[in-house]
Amino acid sequence: MRKAILLVLFTLLLVNCANVKHLNDKNRSPILHKNPKKLFDPTPYAFCHSTGTTSKGSLIFISGQSGAEDLKHTLSGDFKTQAHYALINLKTVLDDHNLTPEDVLKITVLIVDHNEEKLKIWTEEMKEIWKNQKYPASTLIPVPRLALDTMLIEVDAIAFTAKK
């Protein structure tokens, strides 16, 4: 009887550990990444169906980052370049909070005149930043225009930092 109880407890422990998909490098917070088996696998498209955390801490809301390359807000006419810099700019804000891309729970991506080629480029850029493939939950919204005529992409995010 005792062995059966221990086996059940051990199994429950393993199941709970399997649900925690990521413990970031600095052990700040367990970020849960869930992709239900009844839905398609979004990993090849560089996103996760849902993310969350059970830790105590703070949410960091990051305003939309453009693909500007410098302090003068220079924008290339090339979508790939802007997508790259939008993610670099996002990382800059995360760095300022002592966070990494792995701390991002959710991103929203706005793409001007979205098409399949832009989706492919965006996915490639995401994979460069999230090399561990622990992607945040994501929503991509095609738009006709952004704040400036030359902006082709904007990315905002919600990140999490655990209470110390």
Task: Give the amino acid at 140.
Answer: L
d(CA 68, CA 86): 7
The phi, psi pair for 148, rounded to 5°, reads -120, 145
Q: What is the residue-level pLDDT of the chain in tens, covering all 164 positions?
A: 555 443 443 444 333 333 434 444 454 457 788 888 888 888 888 888 888 887 888 899 999 999 999 989 999 999 999 999 999 999 999 999 999 999 999 999 999 999 999 999 999 999 999 998 899 999 999 999 999 999 999 999 999 988 87
pLDDT at residue number 31:
79
Q: In whole numbers, what is the pLDDT of the chain averaged over residues?
A: 84
For the whole model, what pTM was predicted? 0.75
Closest Cα partner for 104 from 142, 65, 77?
65
Give ∠ CA 74-76-81 in degrees, rounded to 5.
115
Burial of 81 (0-12, 13-18, 19+ CB in 10 A): middle
The CB density around residue 116, as the number of other CB atoms within 10 Å, is: 7
Q: How far apart are CA 145 and CA 46, in angstroms?
A: 24
Helix, strand counts (H, E) of the chain: 3, 7
Q: How far apart are CA 12 and CA 15, in angstroms?
A: 5
What count of residues does the chain have? Answer: 164
Q: Which helix (H) or strand (E) holds 54?
A: none
